[in-house]
Amino acid sequence: MFDFLSSKFGALLNKVTGQSVISKNTIKEALQEVRSALIEADVPFEVVEQFVGQVEEKAVGQQLKGSLKAGDQFIKIVHDEMVEFLGSAHKKDQDPLALTFPATVIVMGLQGSGKTTTLSKLAFYMQKQAKKRGKKRSIMLASVDFYRPAAIDQLEVLAKSVGVTFYRSPESDVVSAAKDCVDQARKQGIQVLLLDTAGRLHVDESMLEELKQVVDVVKPQKSLLVLDAMTGQESMRIAQAFDKAVGFDGAVLSKVDSDARGGVAFAFAYQVKKPVYFVGVGERPEDMDEFRPERIASRILGKGDVVSLVEKVEEKIKVDERKSMERAYRKGTITLEDFASQLGMMSRLGSMNSIMKHLPGMGQSITPEMMERAELESKKFKAILSSMTRKERLYHKILNTSRKRRIANGAGATKSDIDLLLRKFEESQRFVKLLKRMGGLGKFFG
Ligand SMILES: Nc1nc2c(ncn2[C@@H]2O[C@H](COP(=O)(O)OP(=O)(O)O)[C@@H](O)[C@H]2O)c(=O)[nH]1
Ligand SMILES: [Mg+2]
C-alpha cells in the first residue's frame, strides 16, 4: 500500500509539471486510488464518497509549495484530512477514563468481540496511569455473563494476572447480579468496578433489553462498546443497534493488530460520531493503546511509512518557506507571495509570540486576545491571497478596483479586508527594508 502511495501517486501526479496549483483533472486518478484504498480497508461506500469529496474540495486550487511535488503534497492532504475525519469526535488532551470514584465502567458488544479481554486491559491501563502519578487504584472485575459457563472463569484468571480484585455474584438473575456486584464493590471500598456483560453472536432484541436493564440498575459512569475491527462493514449496524437500544459513551476497537485495515474506525467516526477511546492490539492485558487517528490513517494508507513521509513533507515545506523568506529579507523586498508563505509559516509556528519576543521593544506585550485576533485575521488573509492570481501576488500594484472585487468575491471577504491586508503587507515591506538596513535577520535563520 505504501508503494501504491509513493510510486503510484508520484507517477500519476509528478509528471504534471509547470502547474502552480492542484487542479481537478490532475488528481482525478489519484482520487480514484484513494477510493480503492478505502474500499479495500473496508470503509463503507457512502463514507468513502463523503471523504473523497472532502479531500477533493481541500486539494483543488491549492498552491504547489516550493519544491514539493504534486504527489507528495497530495498525500499530505489525504493524510491530514483522514486524521481530522477520524479524530473529529475527540476532545484533545482529555483523559478517556476520567472518573469520579467510586465508579462503574461497563462493556458491551457481541460475543467474541473482546469484551472480557478489554476489561483486563482497562484494569491494567488504569493501574499504570495511577502509578505514574504515584497512586494506587483499587479495581474490581465482575461479570454478569451467565450464558457461557467459562466466561466468568476467564475473567477470574485475567483478574489474577493483572492483580486486581475479582468478585463472583451468587445471584442467578442477571439484573440482580449486576446490582449485587455494585453493592459488593461499594462494601469493599473499591474505586472502579469493571463490569463484564454477555454478548450474542448477533445483535438480538432480548440481549439489548437485558443490557438496558443492567445499565439502568448499575448506572455506569462510562459505558464502552467493544467493536471487533475485523467485523468490517457489519460493525456499523452493530454499533448503531447498541447505540439506539442502550447507548454508550465511546468505543474500544479490538483486534487492530489483525489484518483489518482500520476501516471500522473510519466508519465509526463518520456514522456514530462518538470517540474511539482505545484500540486493542493483542491478547495480553498490556496490548491496548490510546486511540491515535494518525496511526489509523497510516494504517489505511499503508503501514507506517506514510507518517515519516508526511513529516518529511512538512519539513520540506518549512525549509522552502524559510528559504523564500530568507531570500526576501536579504533582498530587502518582499512580494505578496512571500507574505502569503510568511502567514503560513507563522500559523505553523503556532504563536507569533516566539517571534515577537526576539524583536527589540516588543517584549511580552502580546495578549491572548491579540493572538486570537491575529490568527483570525491571518485566516482571512490566507483566503484572500489564495483567490489572487500569481501575477497579482508578485505585482500587487496591479490590484485595481475590479480585481479587488473579484478577489473579495472569491474569498468571501470585503474590499476593506483586502485594503487592510495591503496596508499590513506594505508595513511588512517597510519592516523588511528597515531590517536590511539594520543588518538582517540573521538570528532567525541561524
Ligand atoms: N489479536 C487480538 N485478539 C484479541 C484482542 N482482543 C481480544 N482478542 C481475542 O479475541 C477472543 C475473544 O475475546 P473475549 O474477550 O473473550 O471476547 P468477549 O466474548 O467479547 O468477551 C479471545 O481469543 C481474545 O484473546 C485483540 O486486541 N487482538
Ligand atoms: Mg466475554
Question: What's the pTM?
Answer: 0.67
Most confident of 28-32, 141-145, 147-151, 267-271: 141-145
State the distance from the centre of ligand 1 to the C-alpha of 281, rounded, in angstroms: 10
- CATH class, 332-444 region: mainly alpha
Q: How far apart are CA 441 and CA 446, in angstroms?
A: 9
State the distance from the centre of ligand 1 to the C-alpha of 181, rounded, in angstroms: 23
Closest CA to 286 of 105, 128, 86: 128
| Whether pLDDT at 249 is above 60 | yes
Q: Which three cell numbers stand for residue 361?
A: 521593544
387 ligand 1 Cβ < 6 A? no
State the distance from the centre of ligand 1 to the C-alpha of 117, rounded, in angstroms: 6
- Burial track 154-167 (b if 16+ CB lie within 10 A, e otherwise): bbbebbeebebbbb
pLDDT category of residue 209 using cuts at 50, 70 and 90: very high
pLDDT of residue 232: 77
pLDDT of residue 17: 52
410 ligand 1 Cβ < 6 A? no
pLDDT category of residue 317 using cuts at 50, 70 and 90: low
The CATH number of domain 2-90 is 3.40.50.300: no
Looking at domain 103-290, which CATH architecture does it have? 3-Layer(aba) Sandwich (3.40)
| Whether pLDDT at 10 is above 60 | no
Q: How distant, in Å, are the alpha carbons of 197, 210, 214 from that of 148?
A: 11, 16, 18
Closest CA to 207 of 183, 238, 172, 251: 238
112 ligand 1 Cβ < 6 A? yes
pLDDT, one tens digit per residue, over 103-146 is: 999 999 999 999 999 999 999 999 999 999 999 999 999 999 98
Smallest-distance ligand from the CA of 254:
1
Please state the domain extents for the chain: 2-90, 103-290, 332-444
Which residue do the cell numbers 509528471 mark?
Answer: 15
Residues pairing with 105 in the sheet: 194, 222
Q: How far apart are CA 366 and CA 271, in angstroms?
A: 42
Percent of the chain exceeding pLDDT 90 equals 40
pLDDT, one tens digit per residue, over 259-278 is: 666 788 888 888 888 999 99
pLDDT of residue 312: 61
